[in-house]
Amino acid sequence: MAAVAAAQKNREMFAIKKSYSIENGYPARRRSLVDDARFETLVVKQTKQTVLDEARLRANDSSVDPEIEIDETSTQKSGEISEQDTGLTEEEVVLSNAIAEGPEAEKALQRAALILRLREGMNSLSRVLKSIEKYQGLVCHLETRPSQNDNNQLDALIKVEMTRITLLQLIKSLRQSSSLEHVTLIGEDNISAKNPWFPRHASDLDNCNHLMTKYEPDLDMNHPGFADKEYRARRKEIAEIAFAYKYGDAIPFIEYTETENKTWGAVFNTVLDLMPKHACAEYCRVFKLLQEEGIFTADHIPQLEEMSNFLKRHTGFSLRPAAGLLTARDFLASLAFRIFQSTQYVRHKNTPYHTPEPDCIHELLGHMPLLADPSFAQFSQEIGLASLGASDSEIEKLSTVYWFTVEFGLCKESGVVKAYGAGLLSAYGELLHALSDKPELRPFEPAVTAIQPYQDQEYQPIYYVAESFDDMKDKFRRWVSAMSRPFEVRFNPHTGRVEVLDSVEKLESLVHQLNTEVLHLSNAINKMKLPSYQ
């Protein structure tokens, strides 16, 4: 339990407090996962550096009882040990944070690897081993090699097992030694901050609800609700309901007002008129099903709970209430579990046909019909799975692909270009623009699409057209396979967990499952060939 608590605290320590506004230099006027990802990356770096600097200052103030004698004169002359070397590296900050959990955490055994550069060769190594012995550490592995920078020096890799508190004391002691050029800790057992955290189960999404508070009615005077106190109070009320939501809860019921239902009705009827001509067949098919079940009507806004139940029956997707625009990483991570984080508030009555921020009309009319289509639901989940543990730059690229597909995507249908993007199907002005002769239409190629600059102030000058959903998925899979993430993940529908395929046992289990599925497929094909089937 101590390790779990430490891991959670590590995440909290290095997680940015993702609540940004125009006051922090982010004035964008429209929902933009891509710019969210870029801005998030910048603040992550700034916040992490602040955390590390504070921890290093604290470390410099603490006393150390070194085993290895420190020759201050030789240290000063060598000029090799910087001021930062007397503090903590990022790995050591994480270790120090884990120790702070309490007495049990201090005494917990920790496996770790130390990489040392020995100025005096084997003489330095003997001192290091003596120091490890004093701190009651166990050497599990040791190897040396000539330094690539200086043949007169040795690089040593030492894997040790010792209590966390003594490991930290050992590192501080070694870092002050003039016989070592540098000391690097490589943490194990999930102590490393460089081993990226990402949700492994849908319940972990309780920690993935950080917001980008841009274009908020309380912050931006250009928002149509900025001067409307009643609207601002309503937004806060619904946001608090979403913030209180936890995994396993029923989605809270929202009693929509007459004004909110009228706003919904105006947009609904417009989409209903344009849909037969401009929307893709998959969207139209599910839209009709939603009408037949009484979920889509012009007189009232559907509740997320009934919409979520509808999605579960058709594709296994479900909904989770969100208080506003989520950060790119958190939003994409939810898709990996076939969960779509949806807002419940309604756009302002003065701008019924357009909203630069996500609202429930955009989510329900734009996203829900296609999330109930098996092919598109699978594509959405694959984007989410690709985002887990991805680098910041890859999150930006995935966000751009999401922007030009799920939000503003076009596809061919019997040679005619149709819309499937939610941003088009819930904003009729841009829908008509996208299908006119004004913008440039390009074939969907993920590697190119992922780096294409886009317009978030006005209508898009460029849209990407997929030959079909299947063609889009095939191209996306090939592109994702070249990402730099050093591991592969899969969603296990039986446990509802994301599994990292990093061991022979996991691979063998997956192969067994695949063999079983192939057997069922083969049997079904053979039975369909029998005369009795005809």
Which pLDDT score is estimated for 338?
97
Which pLDDT score is estimated for 108?
83
With contact defined as beta carbons under 8 Å apart, do 241 and 344 qualify? Answer: yes
With contact defined as beta carbons under 8 Å apart, do 48 and 12 qualify? Answer: no
Query: What is the average pLDDT across 12-30?
Result: 35
Query: What is the average pLDDT across 242-265?
Result: 93
Which pLDDT score is estimated for 77?
32
Q: Return the top range by mean pLDDT from 136-145, 377-386, 428-437, 453-462.
A: 377-386
| Bigger pLDDT: 197 vs 39 | 197
SS3 508: helix
Is the pLDDT score of 168 beyond 90? no
User: Which range is least confidently modeled, 175-179, 202-206, 263-267, 321-325?
Assistant: 175-179
Rounded Cα gap, residues 37 and 41, in angstroms = 6
Query: What is the average pLDDT across 123-132?
Result: 87
What's the CA dihedral at 404, 425, 317, 492 to 10 degrees? -20
The DSSP code sequence of 263-306 is: HHHHHHHHHHHHHHHHB-HHHHHHHHHHHHTTSS-SSSPPPHHH
The DSSP code sequence of 143-187 is: EEEE-SS-TTSEEEEEEEEEEHHHHHHHHHHHHT-TTEEEEEEEE
Q: Identify the band that residue 482 occupies on the pLDDT scale cut at 50, 70 and 90.
A: confident
Q: Which residues contact 207 (CB under 8 A, 6 or more apart)?
A: 11, 199
Is the pLDDT score of 454 beyond 90? no
Is 367 annotated in some ligand binding site?
A: yes
The active-site residue out of 367, 396, 399, 430 is 367
Identify whether 426 is a catalytic site residue.
yes
Is 407 annotated in some ligand binding site?
A: yes
Identify whether 278 is a catalytic site residue.
no
Which pLDDT score is estimated for 70?
38
Which pLDDT score is estimated for 12?
43
Q: At what angle do helices 164-175 and 90-99 cross, to 10 degrees?
A: 140
Residues 366-399: tens digit of each pLDDT = 999 999 999 999 999 999 999 998 888 898 899 9
Residues 157-167: tens digit of each pLDDT = 888 898 888 88
Which pLDDT score is estimated for 388?
92
The active-site residue out of 318, 357, 362, 363 is 362
| Bigger pLDDT: 479 vs 350 | 479
Is the pLDDT score of 285 beyond 90? yes
Is the pLDDT score of 14 beyond 90? no
Residues 220-234: tens digit of each pLDDT = 566 666 677 888 889
User: Which range is least confidently modeled, 81-90, 151-160, 476-485, 501-510?
Assistant: 81-90
Average pLDDT, the chain: 79
Residues 414-429: tens digit of each pLDDT = 999 999 999 899 888 8
Is the pLDDT score of 193 beyond 60? no
User: Which range is least confidently modeled, 92-101, 265-274, 306-315, 459-468?
Assistant: 92-101
3-state percent helix, strand, coil for the chain, nearest multiple of 5: 50, 15, 35
Which pLDDT score is estimated for 391?
83
Q: Which residues contact 122 (CB under 8 A, 6 or more apart)?
A: 154
Rounded Cα gap, residues 404 and 418, in angstroms = 14
Q: Identify the band that residue 78 occupies on the pLDDT scale cut at 50, 70 and 90.
A: very low
Q: Identify the band that residue 101 occupies on the pLDDT scale cut at 50, 70 and 90.
A: low
Query: What is the average pLDDT across 49-70?
Result: 52
Rounded Cα gap, residues 391 and 266, in angstroms = 42
Identify whether 367 is a catalytic site residue.
yes
Which pLDDT score is estimated for 146?
81
The active-site residue out of 92, 394, 407, 430 is 407
Rounded Cα gap, residues 386 and 396, in angstroms = 12
* Structural element, H or E, at residue 417: strand 416-419
Residues 303-362: tens digit of each pLDDT = 999 999 999 999 999 999 998 878 888 899 999 999 999 999 998 888 777 776 789 999
Is the pLDDT score of 441 beyond 50? yes
Percentage of residues in the chain with pLDDT exceeding 70?
74
Q: Identify the band that residue 121 occupies on the pLDDT scale cut at 50, 70 and 90.
A: confident
Q: Identify the band that residue 104 occupies on the pLDDT scale cut at 50, 70 and 90.
A: confident
Residues 289-302: tens digit of each pLDDT = 999 999 999 999 99
Residue 84 in tokens: 């930062």
With contact defined as beta carbons under 8 Å apart, do 64 and 26 qualify? Answer: no
User: Which range is least confidently modeled, 43-47, 71-75, 234-238, 482-486?
Assistant: 71-75
Which pLDDT score is estimated for 466?
94
Rounded Cα gap, residues 130 and 152, in angstroms = 22
Is the pLDDT score of 215 beyond 80? no
